Amino acid sequence: MVRTAIVTGAGDGLGREIALGLAHAGYGIVVVDLDERAAQVCGGLIEARGMPAQAVGADVREHEGLVRIVAAAQHLGGPHVLVNNAGGWTPRQQYPQATAAEWAATISLNLTAPMLLSQLVLSPMREHGGGAIINIASSGGIGFRPYGSPEYGAAKAGLIRFTASLANLEDSHRVRMMCVAPGWIGLRRAQDQWERMSTDERAASGPLIPPAEVVSVVMDLIREGIGGTVVEMWGGSRQVVHTP
């Protein structure tokens, strides 16, 4: 039986890399993205590798979209894995200049949506014998230094604590929830910014993290990670692993 994984924000960037990595490992994928066309393109890449895929264009901040995501996974025989990858913020004003609606939308995307979707998959995962949930946080949610988007940093910090708080979820639902908190990942936009930076700026930011390294950590957690584990990833292959 093919196991099924949901990956949100999978139309491009890290989400697409994770979706392709899971497909390579033998998973059917529910490819979720706000951009339905991008989700379809990723789904096509997965099907070309001989694995089933279903593209879902959905805003994970909307309950109706979350319901359709779970239904798509059930149609493929799952869900067995959920990767809450969708996140980010708009390059407009940040808190406190942003309006309440703007900063609340960032918190909704990066914290509330993963909480809601995780809640919706718990029962069907348990019915299938259990599963794994991976939350993609950020180094922006770690530490005590100033940060350019306070609402994003607060949401990712919340996602990390949410994960650790549910270390015993396997006892009640047979589901392991874990988290990866990477620094600056070497995706296309980051590489473009890196090229424009001075030598001093690059030294201050630290090296970019290859996307394949993040995918590898995600896959390792799905295979044998302990519920409640949080993995900090920093440039230069440095990792800090927190286990319950």
Question: Could you tell me if 136 and 180 are in contact, meaning their C-beta atoms sit under 8 angstroms apart?
Answer: yes
Residue type, 64: E
Which of the following is catalytic: 27, 95, 147, 152? 152
The DSSP symbol for 226 reads P
Question: Could you tell me if 10 and 4 are in contact, meaning their C-beta atoms sit under 8 angstroms apart?
Answer: no
For residue 227, count other CB atoms closer than 10 A to its CB. 23
Nearest to 139, CA basis, from 201, 214, 70: 214
Residue 27 known to be catalytic:
no
C-alpha to C-alpha distance for 94 and 79, rounded to whole angstroms: 35
Question: Could you tell me if 135 and 163 are in contact, meaning their C-beta atoms sit under 8 angstroms apart?
Answer: yes
Give bridge partners of residue 178 from the DSSP assignment.
134
Cis peptide before 96 (omega within 30 of 0): yes
Contacting residues for 45 by C-beta, under 8 A, at least 6 apart = 16, 20, 23
Question: Could you tell me if 232 and 240 are in contact, meaning their C-beta atoms sit under 8 angstroms apart?
Answer: yes
Three-state DSSP at 197 gives coil
Hey, which residues are catalytic here? Answer: 152
